[in-house]
Amino acid sequence: MTIEWRYTVEQDLGILSVAGFLGPDAVRRFSGAIGWVVGRGSGPVIVDLTGLRGWSTEGQLAITEAAQHLTAAGRSLELAAIPAHGLLVPDSGSPPIPVHADLPHALAAHSTRHGERPEGRHEWRTTGWPPAVDAGE
């Protein structure tokens, strides 16, 4: 089983939404998505795990490696809605990874004056991105 992803850029904030199971079979695809993210946008990247059914140890390690990759590119990584049954425990060499309860809380942490989000939006996604995940927006 693999994952599907969608990447949205809103001014200086990137949102990488991931759906499926982030296990050994999906790590390469996730790493490819992170490579895509590094080449587009600027500023922090929120990895929205609302559509994630779970993750393995390899998946958690992929998150840690993504944080390192983004830090090397001058960007930071934050998580929203981590799976309840798995805690991310980065190794001591990892940059700090802020964790938010859900995407609205993560976005609120980056809101501009008066709670408004900046204008300008660009979006890319895998062809298998589930339409039901978009319904909550």
* pLDDT 10s digits, 119-131: 555 666 777 777 6
Residue 86 above 60 pLDDT? no
- The DSSP bridge partners found for residue 124 are 7
The pTM score is 0.82
Contact partners, residue 17, CB within 8 Å, separation at least 6? 5, 6, 7, 8, 47, 48, 50, 51, 103, 133
| The pairing of beta strand 99-100 with beta strand 13-22 | unpaired
Fold held by 3-134: Transcription Regulator spoIIAA (3.30.750)
CA gap 15, 80 in Å, rounded: 10
